[in-house]
Homo-oligomer: A and B are copies of this chain.
Amino acid sequence: MINVGIVGATGYTGTELVRFLSRHPQVRIAGVTSQSYVDQRYADIFPNTERFIDLACEEQDLDKLLAKCDVIFTALPHGVSMEVVGAAAAKGKKVIDLGADYRFDDVRVYEEWYKIEHKTPELAKKAVYGLPEIHRDEIKNSQVIGNPGCYPTSIILGLAPLLKHGQVKVETLIIDAKSGVSGGGRGLNLAFHYAECNENLKAYNIGVHRHTPEIEQELSKLARTDVRVSFTPHLIPMTRGILSTIYASLHNIDTDTEELLNIYRDFYKDEFFVRIHPEGRYPQTKYVYGSNFCDIGLQYDPRTNRVIVVSVIDNLVKGASGQAIQNMNILFGLPEKTGLDYPALWP
């Protein structure tokens, strides 16, 4: 059994970790920490977990937690996890950080976009960007994993095959992304107040969203050239789900939808968690609701010689906690889908 600790267990990604890990056949949840709910039974805070976890939230006492854990998940706001991750790594523990602190190859990019100094730049440099479908081999032997952001996961998986095959004019990349409200977390904020976002729709952080450099870093590596994208996130009145609509002009003017789909089918042929939709069908967010899948469809438009890719994930699962567990499975040599192979809810 793998002994697991969750630091910051009472946010939405924390509780999704508990949902999956409490049912994972190779895992024992050894400890959960929370600043706001110390000494409260976890199942009293999240009564949906009653019967599945019988722990109380601990104060964040790292030594105590590390002593009983083989791996730590840090589900904390950016900037806050660095200390925890540093300490855990120093003790030789594996760490999967669900925040942004360990996602960047170049710490200066992080510091520029997040306006904060990195406290463990050496460790950040060695950390691996935990997108298994792209970086599986590096993940296997890493100690610290920077678990990808939700938007980036949907976008990078949605574009990887085309970029790898050099199909698109990278300077034309436009990403129009839409997220459910749980992506904003459990912290109180007027923007996520029910009466403000129900029956409402908005764009936000146009051109300046912090997922932009993360997206560009990974797309650039795939394309083997510098990629700069337009990325516009939107807030959708639903709890879960991200749908990214991606526009790109193609080099080749003699292609069609089926040919492009074949590139995807080939690229992802061994991937359990990526499903390519047939021509004429596009993925909907509910196809992946509560599950670890990334569903992708696309359309070639001969009128404009553009491809339009649609990529959907559940922001809290493949976009956060499910992917983190997928990374854990890789780190510990387990079959990658262990504890994660559930279909989405419908309806």
Contact = CB atoms under 8 A, between A and B. Distances in A.
Given A199-B289, A237-B238, A347-B240, A282 B206 contact: yes
A50 B275 contact: yes
Copies of this chain, count: 4
A287 B48 contact: yes
Given A192-B194, A301-B206, A343-B52, A285 B200 contact: yes
Given A193-B192, A207-B303, A295-B47, A199 B346 contact: no
A301 B207 contact: yes
A286 B202 CA distance: 9
Interface residues of A, number: 87
Given A204-B282, A239-B195, A283-B47, A178 B178 contact: yes
B277 A47 contact: yes
A22 B343 contact: yes
Interface in A209-265: 228-230, 232, 234, 236-241, 243, 245, 247
29 contacts: A19-B346, A22-B343, A47-B284, A47-B287, A48-B287, A48-B343, A51-B343, A174-B306, A176-B245, A178-B178, A180-B195, A180-B201, A186-B347, A193-B194, A194-B237, A195-B239, A196-B347, A198-B237, A201-B285, A203-B243, A206-B282, A207-B299, A207-B308, A229-B304, A230-B247, A230-B301, A232-B247, A316-B347, A342-B342
